[in-house]
Structure 1
Amino acid sequence: MSPLLSVRDAHARVIAAFEALPAETISVADAAGRVLAVAPAARLTQPPSDLSAMDGYAMRAADVPAAPTTLKLVGQAPAGGSYDHALKPGETVRIFTGGPLPTGADAIVIQEDTKAEGDRITILEAPRPGRHIRKAGLDFAAGDQPLAVGRTLTTRDVALAAAMNLPWLSVRRKPRVAILSTGDELVLPGEPVGRNQIVSSSGIAVAALVRGWGGEPILFDIARDDAGLIESCIAAGAQHDLLITLGGASVGDHDLVQDALKAQGFAMDFWRIAMRPGKPLMFAAKDRARVLGLPGNPVSTMVCALLFLKPAIDRMLGQPGDLVGTVPARLAVDVKMNDTREDYVRSALSRAADGTLTVTPHPVQDSSMLSVLAESSAFLVRPAHDPARKAGEIVQVVDLAGLPGGY
């Protein structure tokens, strides 16, 4: 039997099989969470001219060498309006936040530092040139491209794009991911559960992950252990950007799924990797169709989805598709030597006042226990053949709180 594929080798093979999907144009109002395909250029300069940042009076600083000094009020410049004459020596204009500076003005004195008597405005604090003024282009200039290709747009980015006078943005099309659970033993949540059946959670979990990572999930009905039915489901699922299969058959993981894939001409890239949980991972391809077979065990499904499904989605969104990153943490307890498989140990992560992290593995690591996964805030990553380690040693962990998509 050939040796098991390492996590990194399997990850490299998966992401090499995907490329960025075509772009589509959408309303800026719908762009939050989408990935930019084209860097948009600002269609105007913001602010378009020098504006007041406060309510007060605009003046020439040279006219008020010392306070108090009295100037003549000659007009006003509200937001959305303007004083369309050049200031003459000794003149001032009432100005409001967002109002454009009159020609010749170079300073603002706030309302609280003045005294008004009709058209006589006494300046109680000498102005400084440039104070309380938002210079033209302070935010951005026409033609600027502050949002880069490949950026996942936040609500802040959407606000910026709207301010740049962009009604439309070019983004990557969402990857369409079909999800197929197989097995006579599975029932959907809420359905009667037979004596030898279990509630299917993996498909629902994967659909939520796909949606959170920027894809569009298509959740198929559960396929019973029937070769013809599984073949037809695979044929339908392969029409999407990616087909995820979950589990195989009661007699062995992926037995019927593998046979169905081979019958339709799919080439099997790999189907076993050296990791825990998640050894029976499968990847197959045919022309432009890609199939990622995740273990049916729910915890294994979730771990493998993070390591292989998310990078595949990232690649289709025009991003690098890197393996999930780790951070250093201090072990809270001793751990035994690891075996030949890279282990993703469900753990609790705590942070001290100085920012240092401490990781505590859960005492039970059964890969069927979703309650332990739900309680976990980290994966302690133990390389294959990692030696026994003592409490206090530094190890690498995946901080689940820092992951996107609500993992």
Structure 2
Amino acid sequence: MAPKLISIEEARARVLVEAHALPVESTALAEAFGLVLAEEIVASHNVPPFDNAGMDGFAVRAEDIVDATSDHPVELTITETIPAGRVASRALGPDEAIKIMTGAPVPEGADAVVQSELVEERDGQVLFYQPVKRRINIRGAGEDVRAGDRVFGLGQVLGPAEIGLLASLGHPVVQVHRRPRVAIIATGSELVPVDRPLGPGQIRNSNSFSLRAQCQQLGIEPVVLGIVSDDYAATKAIMAEGLEYDVLLTSGGVSVGQFDFVKDVQDELGVERRLWGVSMKPGKPLSFGVKNGKLVFGLPGNPVSVMVSFELFVRPALLRLMGHQKTTRPLHRAVIVEDVANSDGRVYVVRVRAWREGSVWHASSTGAQGSGILRSMVGANGLAFVPGGPRGVKAGEEVDFLLLREDLEEP
């Protein structure tokens, strides 16, 4: 029996309502990139913790060089040199200068740092040719963060800057929602491992590799359980193993063919189905269910269908499990540069190359769009959504699209 199709939006909503943030664990800061904080971070000290030099130069009292000019420089005595990581041996006195390196603590008595390029050093003395303002080239204590500041709240996603700031605050370990444990299974008697020669009627298993890479983009290292042939008992055994993980991804076996029995196996294993069939192409026969809080995705078998289904449904679910509140890429509008026909009532998910001209996005199909043509994904940085119906869209009209990545430009 053919599935009753639902919209992409409804399917995603059914998935996300079952996806809940995973338990909290302690994670080394060095391993926390992309994770979501489950604790509030309050600064225990100033950052930086002391006034320090903003550049290499000489720490002085501004009043000592107030009369300096290019014709009548002021000469001060160099008393010592302070590299970063050391402090001055004593306070700075009148008519004295301390040579100081970037990041070193500003000595007591100094209220300015004059950069090296503006002075002349000579036989233990230093000549200044212009006056400076107080606090010039001094980075003040607490300039970045002050003790007691609420730095991060619950739900903060940890990117490179957040991790750097946590390091500066002395947090080697953070409380975060753990990464989901994901299992991947490829079904189909026609599949062989990537390192095997092809026999008659065989193809290589690409789906496990693309799914693994899509998980890795989120910082998740999935477990690939392998290939299972179109055998009911073997499929049941490997899927039972897969249900030990937080998320199970299978590819193939979810349509209506004689050997498409993944859904039947799900039923026998107690998976409660939440959807089967989405009004989209490619990706129509997607199935999704749950068992004891585990998320079970039955992805179509065609390579493009697998990747598109992951992007639209699996990726948001994985992000929600990791504690992310925002899980879906924003929609943009783009001017399509060629006619795109759509022969039925399903939304046509077209792989496109998108670019900006000023403030206007433009998009062009990557070529042949068959669900087995993986090269259409290779050239794509976006997914455009052509509404169902016989008309499609005409060149020059606008379509919604998801930007998968914004390409870099030549300098």
Same fold (TM > 0.5): yes
Q: CA 1:338 to 1:45, structure 2 compared with 1: closer, same or farther past 3 Å?
A: farther
Distance in 2 of aligned mates of 1:243 and 1:161: 34
Q: Is there any run of 5+ residues in structure 1 with no aligned partner, and where?
A: none
Matched, 1:360 2:361: no
Q: CA 1:339 to 1:59, structure 2 compared with 1: closer, same or farther past 3 Å?
A: same
Distance in 2 of aligned mates of 1:302 and 1:248: 16
Residue in 2 aligned with 1:45? Answer: 46
Q: CA 1:321 to 1:87, structure 2 compared with 1: closer, same or farther past 3 Å?
A: closer
Residue in 2 aligned with 1:326? Answer: 331
Q: 2:281 aligns with which of 276, 280, 284?
A: 276
Matched, 1:264 2:265: no
Q: CA 1:224 to 1:192, structure 2 compared with 1: closer, same or farther past 3 Å?
A: same
The total of aligned residue pairs comes to: 402
Identity %: 36
Q: 1:238 aligns with which of 239, 243, 255?
A: 243
Matched, 1:342 2:347: yes
Tell whether the 8 Å contact from 2:366 to 2:379 is kept in structure 1 after alignment. no
Q: CA 1:90 to 1:323, structure 2 compared with 1: closer, same or farther past 3 Å?
A: closer
Distance in 2 of aligned mates of 1:300 and 1:133: 57
The secondary structure found in structure 2 opposite 1:236 is helix
Distance in 1 of aligned mates of 2:87 and 2:15: 60
Residue in 2 aligned with 1:204? Answer: 209
Distance in 2 of aligned mates of 1:187 and 1:130: 69
1:332 maps to a residue whose letter is V
CA apart distance, 1:228: 1.8
The secondary structure found in structure 1 opposite 2:84 is coil
Residue in 1 aligned with 2:9? Answer: 8
After superposition, the CA RMSD in angstroms is 2.6
Tell whether the 8 Å contact from 2:3 to 2:276 is kept in structure 1 after alignment. no
The TM-score with structure 1 as length reference comes to: 0.89
Distance in 2 of aligned mates of 1:243 and 1:19: 15
- 1:20-70 residue CA offsets vs partner (Å, 9 max, x unmatched): 111222222233343333344444322221112233322222233221333
CA apart distance, 1:84: 5.0
CA apart distance, 1:166: 1.9
* Range moving further from structure 2, 10-19 or 333-342: 333-342
- 1:205-257 residue CA offsets vs partner (Å, 9 max, x unmatched): 11221122232311112122222222222211111101112111796288421
CA apart distance, 1:396: 1.8
CA apart distance, 1:122: 3.5
Distance in 2 of aligned mates of 1:268 and 1:240: 17
Matches within 5 A, 1:46-125: 46-67=47-68, 68-116=73-121, 120-125=125-130
Q: CA 1:111 to 1:213, structure 2 compared with 1: closer, same or farther past 3 Å?
A: closer
Q: 1:160 aligns with which of 139, 158, 165?
A: 165
The secondary structure found in structure 2 opposite 1:222 is strand
CA apart distance, 1:142: 3.4
Residue in 2 aligned with 1:369? Answer: 373
Q: CA 1:216 to 1:98, structure 2 compared with 1: closer, same or farther past 3 Å?
A: closer
* Range moving further from structure 2, 98-107 or 278-287: 98-107
Q: CA 1:358 to 1:338, structure 2 compared with 1: closer, same or farther past 3 Å?
A: farther
Distance in 2 of aligned mates of 1:71 and 1:253: 92
Residue in 2 aligned with 1:173? Answer: 178
The secondary structure found in structure 1 opposite 2:405 is helix
2:27 maps to a residue whose letter is I
CA apart distance, 1:320: 2.5
Q: CA 1:236 to 1:132, structure 2 compared with 1: closer, same or farther past 3 Å?
A: same
Distance in 2 of aligned mates of 1:50 and 1:40: 23
* Range moving further from structure 2, 30-39 or 258-267: 30-39
CA apart distance, 1:383: 2.6
- 1:61-113 residue CA offsets vs partner (Å, 9 max, x unmatched): 22332213334444444322323544444443333322222223211223343
